[in-house]
Amino acid sequence: MKHILRFALLIFCGALASCENNSTQTNSGEVEILETWSNGKVKKDRLQLRGDTSRITTYHDNFKVHMVGEVVLSKGKEVKHGEWKSFYPNGVNWSLNTYSMGVSQGVYKTWHPNGVLNIVGHYSSGVSTGVWQFMDSTGTVIKQFDATPGE
């Protein structure tokens, strides 16, 4: 019985300590609520991952994820870095963009609300490059061109 009480006390103290944490702290693994909807649901939060890297997540008013991606601190400002994904309110993919220190770099995709690819392209140092394709809501390519500068 003593062991059960000690275990319960440890759990209670751990829970109490976690409740005392200030939501504005940014220690690794802690979530900071940045914005809320008028109904009190979270609209935007930040999860501190490691060092100067955080994951930012925004939510639709139905609490499904709207956008998620990582930011890093650069010269005192948060800049997008890595993959950023956006979703329609029903959870279907809306867009994918890749960043390198705040600049579009790599694959870019958008989807129609029915989940079919809409646009596929590529960025190099913030400039559209290579072949870009545009599809209708059935997936049929309706436009394609080479966006490489000077081409």
- The 10s digit of each residue's pLDDT in 106-141 is 999 999 999 999 999 999 999 999 999 999 999 999
Domains and CATH numbers, the chain: 31-146 (3.90.930.1)
pLDDT surpasses 80 at 27: no
Evaluate the CA torsion angle 114, 120, 125, 126 in order and state its sign: negative
CA distance 24 to 4: 34
The pLDDT assigned to 25 comes to: 42
Residue 72: C-alpha distances to residues 80, 100, 102, 118, 120 (Å): 7, 10, 9, 29, 26
- Ramachandran angles phi, psi of 12, nearest 5°: -60, -45
Q: Do β-strands 65-74 and 77-87 pair in parallel, antiparallel, or remain unpaired? A: antiparallel
Confidence of residue 83 (pLDDT cuts 50, 70, 90): very high
Q: What is the mean pLDDT of residues 32-54?
A: 93
The pLDDT assigned to 150 comes to: 76
